[in-house]
């Protein structure tokens, strides 16, 4: 055992203890790791900062230690029994390895992995936004190509409807049918208009500074009669910060907020709460609409910005949130949705703050 003190192990400190856990032998590396001298180890028990001691002579201990004498140092400790030739326990052996550099490398690798995961998440989100933008652009080009012809046809239908209404005004049964034709034609014309809006090219020359808080307050106030007529009991909560100014088209931003707000109303069955808020966040202005309605599952959330996707059947066109996304992009902003089925939905419109 005495020869152990001359072992030049570059990695491990080695201690041999008797059955009373008194150190009887140690190598120079152990003295280095414990920041002391060999003669201050031999004949003594383990220092107090090593808390874990064997409860039974046969116990094996393996742990990571953080010595109090050197900030940032990390040690790996192995402690186990030593057996004699006849199988009896004659003492313990303690092995200590300085794993500070390895732990630092592991921490760096974990941090790099976290950064890569975050970067991959951002890249995936950017790809999704790019695909969404491309779908909207393609849809807009298609709409622009056919809108003229469709509007011409609808113009002929509506013109003849007006003529028929005058000629058959004394025939209530026929007039009712004609009214239905007129309503369907006007709905079709509105759908074409929305399609053209989605793919409208970006022209910011007419943009002007707008107080988003005042605009949001105006839209929210105007929407109250709509849900009152539906019989729903909805509490409207507003939190508007001052000086939330953006550059934009007032009519477009009003339409975007109206679509978001009406979706929130439709998500509430009988009674609930809708919160509309604005907040200045650095170089951004955040417009948030939150409801405690039925919420959305993950599948619906993935498709909510897809043109013509709707959960309302024939009652919806599926263009509302597509228009919101298109308006946000034209204003160099983004729209995001957080939703949980049965708990509600939060829609956040992020727009650049006006300088």
Domain 125-198 has CATH 1.10.287: yes
Asked whether residue 315 carries a pLDDT value surpassing 60, the answer given is no
Most confident of 185-194, 198-207, 217-226: 217-226
Residues 290-305 have a mean pLDDT of: 87
CA-based nearest residue to 249, from 200, 289, 288, 283? 200
- Tell me how far apart the alpha carbons of residues 138 and 201 are, in angstroms, rounded to a whole number: 12
What are the tokens at 72? Answer: 């940032």
Average pLDDT, the chain: 84
Query: What are the domain boundaries of the chain?
Result: 2-98, 125-198, 208-352
| CB count in 10 Å sphere of residue 132 | 17
2-98 and 125-198 in the same fold: no
- What pLDDT, on the 0 to 100 scale, is given for residue 201? 65
- Tell me how far apart the alpha carbons of residues 355 and 352 are, in angstroms, rounded to a whole number: 9
Fold classification of 208-352 (topology level): Heat Shock Protein 90 (3.30.565)
pLDDT in tens, 137-180: 676 666 666 666 777 777 888 888 888 878 877 777 777 778 77
- What pLDDT, on the 0 to 100 scale, is given for residue 74? 92
Asked whether residue 277 carries a pLDDT value surpassing 80, the answer given is yes
pLDDT in tens, 101-126: 888 998 899 999 999 999 998 888 78
- What pLDDT, on the 0 to 100 scale, is given for residue 314? 56
Give just the sign of the alpha carbon dihedral 334, 340, 341, 342: negative
- What pLDDT, on the 0 to 100 scale, is given for residue 5? 44
Which residue reads 């829609």 in tokens?
347
Give just the sign of the alpha carbon dihedral 62, 63, 67, 71: positive
- What pLDDT, on the 0 to 100 scale, is given for residue 9? 64
Q: How many residues does the chain have?
A: 355
Asked whether residue 72 carries a pLDDT value surpassing 90, the answer given is no
Asked whether residue 352 carries a pLDDT value surpassing 60, the answer given is yes
| CB count in 10 Å sphere of residue 168 | 14
- What pLDDT, on the 0 to 100 scale, is given for residue 198? 62
- What pLDDT, on the 0 to 100 scale, is given for residue 266? 86
Q: How far is CA 146 from CA 156, 203, 278, in A?
A: 16, 22, 38
Fold classification of 2-98 (topology level): Beta-Lactamase (3.30.450)
> Residues 6 or more apart from 218 whose CB is under 8 A from it?
254
- Confidence grade of residue 82 (pLDDT, cut at 50, 70, 90): very high
pLDDT above 70 coverage of the chain, percent = 86
Asked whether residue 226 carries a pLDDT value surpassing 90, the answer given is no
More confident residue, 228 or 349: 349
């Amino acid at each position: 055992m005495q020869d152990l003190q001359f072992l030049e192990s570059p990695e491990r400190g080695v201690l041999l203890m008797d059955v009373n856990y008194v150190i009887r032998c140690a190598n120079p590396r152990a003295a280095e790791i414990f920041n002391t001298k060999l003669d201050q180890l031999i004949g003594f028990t383990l220092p107090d900062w090593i808390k874990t001691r064997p409860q039974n002579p046969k116990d094996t201990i393996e742990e990571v230690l953080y010595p109090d004498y050197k900030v940032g140092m990390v040690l790996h400790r192995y402690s186990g029994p030593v057996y004699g030739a006849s199988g009896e326990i004659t003492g313990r052996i303690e092995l200590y390895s300085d794993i500070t550099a390895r732990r630092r490398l592991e921490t760096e690798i974990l941090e790099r992995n976290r950064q890569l995961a975050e970067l991959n998440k951002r890249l995936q989100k950017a790809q999704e936004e790019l695909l969404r933008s491309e779908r909207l652009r393609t849809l807009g080009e298609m709409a622009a190509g056919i809108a003229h012809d469709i509007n011409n046809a609808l113009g002929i239908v509506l013109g003849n409807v007006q003529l028929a209404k005058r000629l058959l005004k004394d025939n209530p049964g026929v007039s009712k049918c004609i009214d239905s034709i007129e309503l369907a034609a006007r709905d079709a014309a509105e759908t074409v208009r929305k399609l053209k809006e989605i793919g409208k090219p970006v022209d910011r020359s007419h943009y002007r500074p707008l107080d988003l808080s005042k605009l949001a307050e105006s839209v929210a106030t105007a929407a109250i009669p709509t849900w009152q007529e539906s019989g729903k009991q909805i509490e409207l909560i507003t939190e508007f910060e001052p000086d939330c100014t953006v550059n934009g088209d007032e009519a477009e931003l009003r339409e975007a907020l109206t679509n978001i707000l009406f979706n929130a109303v439709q998500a509430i069955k009988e009674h609930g709460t809708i919160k509309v808020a604005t907040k200045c966040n650095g170089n951004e202005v955040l417009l948030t609409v939150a409801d405690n309605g039925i919420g959305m599952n993950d599948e619906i959330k993935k498709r909510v910005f897809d043109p013509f996707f709707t959960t309302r059947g024939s009652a919806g066109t599926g263009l509302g949130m597509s228009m919101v996304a298109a308006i946000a992009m034209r204003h160099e902003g983004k729209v995001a949705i957080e939703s949980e089925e049965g708990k509600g939905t939060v829609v956040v419109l992020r727009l650049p703050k006006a300088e």
